[in-house]
Amino acid sequence: MTKIGIIGAMELEVEQLKKEMAVKSVVTKAGMDFFEGTLDDVPVVVVRSGIGKVNAALCVQILADVFQVSHVINTGVAGSLNAKLDIGDILISRDALHHDMDTTIFGYQPGEVPQMGFREFRADERMMELAREACEKVNPDIRVMFGRVVSGDQFISSKEVKERLIALFQGDCAEMEGASVAHGAYLNSLPFVIIRAISDKADDSAEMDYPTFEAAAAKHSAALVKEMIKGLLP
């Protein structure tokens, strides 16, 4: 059975989806409210995880254990690490990794979780393509591209740190939850995709009133998610 878990770190990132869904129940676990119901007749569970990697990982595990979701979508905002990405563009994860994992002293790559055998958590190709198609349909004026999400429990603001993340990880955007969503989805054999609206340019050369950006990004992301989940039905 198809049931889509939709995670946003902040309330604004899931608020519109909650308003538009038919809610059957609300279950609170680990301080998170899980709204279960349907969105345009597609079974969904929508939840605000809270900020950071631990919150994100716990959220995925609850979606897997309690709600038996079949797919995971993580929607939110991120800072650009790619000069081709402008404010308001949407990046769809090709893969994700932890930029603050460092066990290089034991011979692992920067960002590699020990004993896993790989560094990057790869998004589901079908979900990637559905997300791209949905964005082009419902947000025709928004540029969309595939790329790498790098995550850590740090708010990245300095140019020097951004340059390091580009050099070490070839990241396209940086944020604080995506890799843990990907990690948790992988461990539970759940297909996933991460969708990120870009909040700033890689070189900090452009600025936008953040509340204006945030409201527009939430609207665009909600429309994208609503459209793409139709394609996940059998």
At 147 the three-state DSSP class reads strand
Helix (H) or strand (E) holding 218: helix 210-229
Choose the catalytic residue: 120, 172, 200, 227.
200
- For 207, counting Cβ atoms within 10 Å of its Cβ (0-12 exposed, 13-18 middle, 19+ buried), the class is exposed
Amino acid in position 10: M
Choose the catalytic residue: 13, 120, 172, 177.
13
Nearest to 216 by CA among 125, 83, 87: 87
Distances (CA, A) of 65 to 53, 184, 188, 214, 221: 18, 12, 9, 32, 26
Known active-site residue 89: no
Furthest-apart CA pair in the chain: how many Å?
Answer: 51
Structure tokens of 165?
A: 């993340």
Known active-site residue 125: no
Helix axes 210-229, 125-138, angle to 10 degrees: 120
Task: Compute how many other C-beta atoms are within 10 angstroms of the C-beta atom of residue 42.
Answer: 18
First-last CA distance in the chain: 8
State the catalytic residues.
Answer: 13, 200
